[in-house]
Homo-oligomer: A and B are copies of this chain.
């Protein structure tokens, strides 16, 4: 079964997902974004029409992917009438029910990955979490997800919200810690690249170990000399100081409970 798709939103996720679906032979009819630049960029990548006004979104697609930032979803949806077309959002944190008043056929298609526009991702390894308002729509979306990914699972809105929260810690916050490391190094003119093997190994370790078993460093050893010296180094930056204290305490207490 070949379906036609319209993308409402042209950000990082929309770009990567639309490309992956198109590669599998699916037909993208149109791309909408509120910003001309994003609409044009994705329209050109996919060689499809792009529009910047909600009124110009055509009614000919079978499935509408809403891939906007959460705070924009309701506003854009309120201007649309999808009748009985399948409308799908891609948000970790929004419930399925947010689509209730907009169509008789609704679903969620949530790929758990960090997407950037210019970096291609191997979609086969990206877990996709599906939810839908009927078993039929569940099947449509599950089959669709299986076209691009080797890991497709059903998940309800409440669990998806927790999954998204866990991803914020494991990805967005982790990346910010990389950034803090980079700033600390800059103060001594050490290039960030020296940390890259360590960063990669830290992530690779938990590919076959649990994070508990993988933990190393001064906090788990409760090496008070180092911890005090590090806190002293961070005295000038109260946020970093507070983060260091909280995270060290967390590591120590967690592993104490395990003993």
| A interface list, Cβ under 8 A from B | 12, 69-71, 93, 112-116, 119, 121, 125-127, 151, 153, 155, 158-159, 161-182, 184-185, 187-188, 190, 192, 194-207, 209-221, 223-226, 229-230, 233-234, 239, 242-244, 246-247, 249-251, 254
Nearest 6 Cβ contacts at the A-B interface: A172-B217, A203-B203, A178-B211, A166-B181, A179-B211, A170-B181
* Residue among B125, B163, B188, B196 making CB contact with A197, cutoff 8 Å: B125
A163 to B114, CA, bound (A): 27
* Residue among B93, B114, B180, B224 making CB contact with A216, cutoff 8 Å: B114
A171 and B206 within 8 A (CB)? no
B170 and A195 within 8 A (CB)? yes
B residues near A247, Cβ cutoff 8 Å: 172-173, 176, 243
A217 to B212, CA, bound (A): 25
Q: Which of A205, A211, A223, A251 has the most CB of B within 10 A?
A: A211
Q: How far is the CB of A21 from chain B (nearest CB, A)?
A: 19
Q: How far is the CB of A200 from chain B (nearest CB, A)?
A: 5
* Residue among B163, B204, B219 making CB contact with A190, cutoff 8 Å: B163
A161 and B233 within 8 A (CB)? yes
B residues near A184, Cβ cutoff 8 Å: 162, 165-166, 169
B residues near A195, Cβ cutoff 8 Å: 112, 166-167, 170
Q: How far is the CB of A128 from chain B (nearest CB, A)?
A: 10
B residues near A205, Cβ cutoff 8 Å: 114, 116, 119, 175
A244 to B247, CA, bound (A): 11
B residues near A244, Cβ cutoff 8 Å: 168-169, 173
A221 to B73, CA, bound (A): 14
